[in-house]
Copies of this chain bind each other. A is one copy, B any other.
């Protein structure tokens, strides 16, 4: 039976997002990522721009993690990682892998707190103004990051419900 997220879960999840995102970008691309605007709650529909990663969680916590990269940011990071000008396929692969790493680290935090879950494979969604409505979720939070060397922000969102 779905339960409302206990007080503080939003803050906790935001702390985890802030703890896991910068090391992923440092390790993968050698780039610092500084936290910016916090979204708590995220107003729906969520509008994604450019290239977005999506991974589902299912178990004691169920929901979705979305990463939203402007196309310029995705290209910039892909070139840092791959060392050359990148194709659409490269952008998609890089966004999927970064989303995998961020979500895998969040999964560990959830599991360590008693909310075991398993993950779906990643999907990458591209388009202009993609409007997303996650349903049946009691919590929706997000955080913007400013990646060194690129003016376009990265956004990481979590929508979920905690099951007893």
Tell me if A137 counts as interface (CB < 8 A to partner B). yes
Chain B nearest CB from A111 CB (Å) reads 14
In the assembled complex, which residues on chain B have CB atoms less than 8 Å from the CB atom of A129?
127-128
Query: Of A28-36, A70-78, A113-121, which stretch is located at the interface?
Result: A113-121
In the assembled complex, which residues on chain B have CB atoms less than 8 Å from the CB atom of A131?
125-127
In the assembled complex, which residues on chain B have CB atoms less than 8 Å from the CB atom of A57?
58, 120
Tell me if A105 counts as interface (CB < 8 A to partner B). no
Q: Is the interface of A mostly helix, strand, loop or mixed?
A: strand
A121 contact from B54, B59, B161, Cβ within 8 A: B161
Chain B nearest CB from A125 CB (Å) reads 5
Q: Is the CB of A121 within 8 A of B92?
A: no
What does the 1/0 interface line of A7-26 toward B look like (CB < 8 Å)?
00000000000000000000
Q: Measuring CB to CB, which residues of chain A are less than 8 angstroms from any residue of chain B?
A: 45, 54-59, 62-64, 92-93, 96, 117-137, 159-161
Chain A to chain B contacts (Cβ below 8 Å), 5 pairs: A45-B92, A58-B120, A96-B135, A125-B132, A130-B130
